[in-house]
């Protein structure tokens, strides 16, 4: 397999301009991630209080559990960003994947320094999404519980619906039934519904003095029964380990609990990350020939100027090697085979608008990968499928639909990265969130919406003007309508808006892309080969 010849000139003025602009994007990403870690109104004080009580900060807790010197993929760090008056950094919950004795586990850990670890709607979404990741990737779940329970002011957005709190227990019970260990360490409150997280776990450890489980806490007991009771007597580690049996082990300290947890993990019989199955082709990894940092200078500072997806691929894949499939046809989509951290993948990347030919080429390539059991990686950067008379007459709708059908029905693991625009049906055909990629990451320059803000401004203005029914619209009114539409699109297509709502599994710095994908692919490699689907019906 030949390496991609890069045509990027890192000495050019364009490169310098792009790079400077992207550095700003990355700086902003880091700042906002830092906010999620320890920022926000009054956070400093609550972190202090947490530490004063001898409790460990949530990310440090995870570090104490996972194997030394091993990675941790943290998901959706910026969930909740800009929502809830920007008072719930990270959504008050951390999810991710890390190794314990070489076995990957999903971690779901409450951050008690954010609203006492109480669960806002996006926290539930993140909790459920982590369980979904566990199911798809065949991973056990470790719950580090330290939560005040549902955030009651928003109870209607947390409690009743599918994939609300109830859905998380539904999933937990079923994950356990699939043989995926559900393990809890109780490091704080587990009140009301929260009590079911440990109660539904396969094994539970409670830490004395801080861990408490009760269906109704002391205030509810007082209100309901008039009893005044000490929280430890009501639901402390001793009660639950000695008397109720809700907990299986009692630990004097968090460290002891993590030691016990790791001991439990020695007995779960899960495949280790090194236990690669033969169906996913693997060879020793090779670093790309070109540094990932050059991506900063490749992505245009002006998002109307396109960049070549091959230049990005060259900075993500092993040895920058890429076997370009059908390179002379349907050129607005790049397809081909490569390896990431040793694992073979089929890559589908946009080089602009999707035409009928590009859609057919992508469909063909998806079918090849499905046939050969090669995971698919989608690199989205498209303004969508081509419109216009010729395109419609050429059957773009049915050709686009072939691509969408093929993506929807592909049974090999799929991964998506938003490296630029993700607009319209392009989002669907390129395996957007609705098409259940195993993981979906986005770059801070990405945009996601039904259409670009420029297009929306024109289209929606015309519609709104049309709706005003004959009344003359002044230039001023027109300008105001345009401005409103543009503002809405600008806001809603912003990647921070998207990641805050969990439309992705996290914004990542482009230089981390290869690592993130390598980590994710390795998870699939330890699973059995996914069962192939039946053939599809293609509208010809």
Residues that bind another protein (CB under 8 A): 30, 33-34, 36-37, 59-60, 63-64, 68-74, 77, 99, 101, 104, 242-243, 251-252, 255-256, 258-260, 262-263, 266, 273-274, 276, 282, 284-285, 341-343, 506, 508-509, 512, 515-516, 518-519, 521-522, 525
Between CA 197 and CA 169 the distance in angstroms is: 7
Query: Shortest gap between Cβ of 67 and another protein (angstroms)?
Result: 9
Task: Give buried/exposed letters for 180-207 (b at 16+ CB in 10 A, else e).
Answer: bbbbbbbbbbbbbbbbbbbbbbbbbbbb
Between CA 100 and CA 263 the distance in angstroms is: 10
> Closer to another protein at the Cβ: 165 or 341?
341
DSSP strand E in 278-354: where?
323-325, 333-340, 343-350
Query: Shortest gap between Cβ of 217 and another protein (angstroms)?
Result: 24
Q: What is the CA angle 533-309-374, rounded to 5?
A: 25
> Closer to another protein at the Cβ: 460 or 522?
522
Query: Exposed (0-12), middle (13-18) or buried (19+): which is 212, by Cβ within 10 Å?
Result: buried
Query: Shortest gap between Cβ of 196 and another protein (angstroms)?
Result: 26
> Closer to another protein at the Cβ: 119 or 521?
521
What is the token pair recorded at 389? 């008379």
> Closer to another protein at the Cβ: 37 or 333?
37
Query: Shortest gap between Cβ of 242 and another protein (angstroms)?
Result: 7
The answer to whether 273 and 99 have CB atoms below 8 angstroms apart is: yes
> Closer to another protein at the Cβ: 252 or 529?
252
Query: Shortest gap between Cβ of 176 and another protein (angstroms)?
Result: 23
Q: Which helix (DSSP H) or strand (DSSP E) does residue 414 occupy?
A: strand 414-423
Between CA 493 and CA 451 the distance in angstroms is: 9
Between CA 447 and CA 453 the distance in angstroms is: 10
> Closer to another protein at the Cβ: 37 or 312?
37
> Closer to another protein at the Cβ: 318 or 370?
318
> Closer to another protein at the Cβ: 382 or 513?
513
What is the token pair recorded at 324? 């370009």
Query: Shortest gap between Cβ of 154 and another protein (angstroms)?
Result: 26
Between CA 1 and CA 391 the distance in angstroms is: 35
> Closer to another protein at the Cβ: 281 or 324?
281
> Among positive and negative, which fits the CA dihedral 339, 343, 345, 347?
negative
> Closer to another protein at the Cβ: 273 or 412?
273
The helix/strand/coil state of 380 is strand
Query: Shortest gap between Cβ of 330 and another protein (angstroms)?
Result: 32
| Contacts of 102 by beta carbon, 8 Å cutoff, 6+ apart | 67, 272, 273, 274
The 3-class secondary structure across 253-296, one letter per residue, is CHHHHHHHHHHHHCCCCCCCCCCCCCCCCECCCCCCCCCHHHHH
What is the token pair recorded at 367? 């079918």
**What's the length of the chain?**
540
Query: Shortest gap between Cβ of 298 and another protein (angstroms)?
Result: 21
The distance from CA 526 to its chain's CA centroid, rounded to whole angstroms, is 20
Between CA 86 and CA 160 the distance in angstroms is: 24
Query: Shortest gap between Cβ of 255 and another protein (angstroms)?
Result: 5
Query: Shortest gap between Cβ of 352 and another protein (angstroms)?
Result: 29
The answer to whether 504 and 441 have CB atoms below 8 angstroms apart is: yes
Short-list 540, 533, 519, 535, CA closest to 106: 519
> Closer to another protein at the Cβ: 330 or 342?
342
> Closer to another protein at the Cβ: 104 or 116?
104
Query: Shortest gap between Cβ of 175 and another protein (angstroms)?
Result: 21
The answer to whether 378 and 345 have CB atoms below 8 angstroms apart is: no
Tally of CB atoms within 10 A around 20: 12
Query: Shortest gap between Cβ of 156 and another protein (angstroms)?
Result: 31
Query: Shortest gap between Cβ of 33 and another protein (angstroms)?
Result: 5
Which residues face 380 on adjacent strands? 418
> Closer to another protein at the Cβ: 379 or 401?
379
């Amino acid at each position: 397999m030949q390496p991609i010849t890069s045509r990027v000139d890192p000495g050019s003025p364009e490169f310098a301009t792009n790079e400077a602009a992207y550095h700003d994007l990355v700086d902003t990403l880091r700042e906002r991630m830092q906010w999620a870690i320890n920022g926000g109104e009054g956070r400093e004080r609550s972190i202090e209080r947490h530490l004063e009580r001898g409790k460990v900060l949530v990310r440090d807790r995870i570090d104490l559990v996972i194997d030394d010197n091993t990675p941790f993929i943290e998901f959706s760090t910026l969930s909740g960003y800009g929502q809830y008056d920007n008072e719930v950094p990270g959504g008050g919950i951390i999810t991710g994947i890390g190794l314990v004795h070489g076995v990957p586990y999903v971690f779901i850990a409450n951050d008690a320094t954010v609203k006492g670890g109480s669960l806002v709607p996006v926290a539930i979404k993140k909790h459920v999404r982590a369980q979904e990741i566990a199911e798809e990737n065949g991973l056990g779940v470790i719950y580090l519980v330290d939560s005040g329970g549902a955030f009651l002011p928003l109870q209607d957005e947390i409690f009743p619906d599918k994939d609300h709190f109830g859905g998380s227990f539904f999933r937990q019970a079923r994950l356990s039934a699939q043989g995926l260990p559900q393990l809890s360490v109780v490091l704080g409150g587990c009140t009301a519904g929260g009590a079911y997280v440990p109660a539904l776990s396969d094994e539970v450890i409670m830490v004395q003095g801080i861990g408490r489980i009760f269906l109704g806490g002391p205030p509810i007991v007082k209100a309901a029964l008039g009893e005044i009771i000490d929280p430890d007597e009501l639901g402390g580690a001793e009660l639950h380990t000695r008397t109720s049996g809700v907990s299986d082990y009692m630990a004097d300290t968090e460290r002891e609990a993590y030691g016990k947890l790791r001991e439990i993990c020695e007995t779960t019989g899960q495949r280790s990350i090194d236990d690669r199955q033969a169906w996913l082709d693997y060879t020793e990894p090779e670093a790309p020939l070109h540094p990932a940092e050059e991506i900063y200078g490749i992505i245009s500072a002006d998002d109307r100027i396109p960049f070549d997806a091959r230049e990005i691929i060259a900075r993500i894949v092993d040895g920058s090697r890429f076997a370009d499939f059908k390179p002379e046809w349907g050129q607005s989509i790049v397809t081909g085979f490569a390896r990431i951290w040793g694992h073979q993948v089929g890559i589908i990347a946009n080089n602009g608008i999707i035409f009928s030919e590009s859609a057919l080429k992508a469909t063909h390539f998806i079918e090849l990968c499905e046939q050969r059991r090669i995971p698919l990686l989608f690199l989205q950067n498209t303004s969508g499928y081509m419109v216009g008379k010729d395109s419609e007459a050429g059957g773009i709708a049915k050709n686009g639909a072939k691509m969408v059908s093929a993506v929807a029905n592909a049974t090999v693991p799929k991964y998506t990265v938003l490296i630029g625009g993700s607009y319209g049906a392009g989002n669907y055909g390129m395996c957007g969130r609705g098409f259940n990629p195993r993981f979906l990451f986005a770059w801070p320059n990405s945009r996601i919406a039904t259409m670009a803000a420029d297009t929306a401004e024109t289209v929606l203005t015309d519609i709104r003007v049309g709706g005003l029914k004959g009344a003359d619209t002044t230039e001023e009114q027109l300008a105001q309508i345009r401005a409103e539409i543009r503002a809405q699109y600008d806001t809603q297509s912003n990647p921070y808006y998207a990641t805050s709502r969990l439309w992705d599994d996290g914004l990542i710095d482009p230089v981390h892309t290869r690592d993130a994908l390598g980590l994710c692919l390795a998870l699939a490699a330890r699973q059995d080969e996914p069962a192939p689907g039946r053939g599809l019906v293609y509208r010809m």
